[in-house]
Structure 1
Amino acid sequence: MTTPISMLWESAEPDAALTERFGFETAADAIDWLKGVLGEDWGLEVEGCERLVISDANCLAWIVVDGCRMVAKWSMRPRVFARLAEIARLTVWLGERGIPVSVPLAARDGRVQVEVDGFSLGLQRVIEGELLDITDPVQVRAAGEMLARMHVVMSDYPGTIPTEEPPVPGAQLVGNDFRSANILWADGRIVAVLDLEESAYRRRVDDLAQASILLGTRYHDWAPTPAEVRGAFVAAYVSVLPLEKGGAGALDDSVEAHLTRIPWPG
């Protein structure tokens, strides 16, 4: 059976992208390589691969191991390898502190991000759930509260995430990509916040502003979150973590700046 391969958001032809970016002639070649690496470094036997998805410099494979669905994700961009390793360690740290994330599975030598054959590879269990629905006020409130919790916890992170830009005054570590595409909902709660690869040092008011605007965005057809939803989201955030002095004005300014700066489709 042929494994489906697709692009996450780009219009490129996926088979060509797999070859040009990752050096695999076919999806079967990529899967055979992955089976070898997971066997050697993790001691796992891959039973099957459901699909491959390419996102920029990353390839993701939904696989089955011992009846458990997992996602293997590898990058072909060496300049981000050190950052990816730190993001993996951050994710483990957040999971240990009760933030719902998909914690990377450690390889046999303890690494949670492995460099092999010119790639940087991580492995996580699939968490079942639906993408956050901003038409549901309960989910919007839970999202606001969750972002506030993440800001509190991430402010105490003892490690350092490599970044290309110096932190601005008043910055702290934030996820920097909190939106529907990265939030899973099931059983009346947020069960996972995914994809912390954009983590950066920013003012939390700027991360809140960006999240409020992009909360409803997924992979295509982006549009600003409706104002009433933004208001409910911010109110939920503030109920857990009040804004600093002058924060309301700073939030309004940041929201306006993001609305102007983001290149909305159409």
Structure 2
Amino acid sequence: MKENIQPLNPIAFTLGPIQVHWYGIIIGSGLALALFLAIREGNRRGLPKDTFADLMLWAIPIAIISARIYYVIFEWKYYAQHPSEIPAIWNGGIAIHGALIGSVITTYVFAKKRGVSFWKITDIAAPSLILGQAIGRWGNFMNQEAHGGEVTRSFLENLHLPNFIINQMYINGTYYHPTFLYESVWDFIGFILLILLRRVNLRRGELFLSYVIWYSVGRFFVEGMRTDSLMLTSTLRMAQMISIVLVIGAVAILLIRRKKNLSEERYLDQSIS
């Protein structure tokens, strides 16, 4: 027998014919906070004042577009039949790995043109980035997406979750793992760890590489619980494969940069290039 539980309204408010979704508000709030923290830290670390503001003018739209393109590519069977839905990101369907690819490429080109160290920019941005991701996962919560497999209400209650989360995980008569929450908590912990690693004064580039490793490890395990994954094979999820590649790649880059003395400068150094 189905319980009479109403989900939270994914629409925050309407402006005439325009519906403003919580998904967009939450994602936008995460981006705004991430940008604010990156600008403040960039100023402390001696970057030109408008570096991150100028970078975000390019990185944010490119990241959103690349995140959507990534998702659509792996769900092409559906979108080929429903092309009008391709721009509808307010309904969900953006892939964080696509956003990361787009934003990292944009940052690399931007850094080259400005004569600023790519590694310094990414080190400064790393804690802000993972915090924005932690906040953004709550957009999935409002859309009742990015959840895991079936569970019981008692299982969720044993996790000591508030009722509003438990009730929102009740979808079409079934309770599901709140995998959005698992990843959000992992990312919040990662944010704290990266802030602490700043004080260790790692070599340049290593804070960003630490972010890549931390996020990818968590994403690998959380992705394995999800029911809406983009699949590479019948058993391997695309996000898991990319997470493995990113961990191996980040560790390899870190070791190579140390072995070849490519990372003598430290995070707290004030030099720009």
TM-score by length of 1: 0.29
Q: Per residue, is there more strand in 1 or in 2?
A: 1
TM-score by length of 2: 0.28
Q: Per residue, is there more helix in 1 or in 2?
A: 2
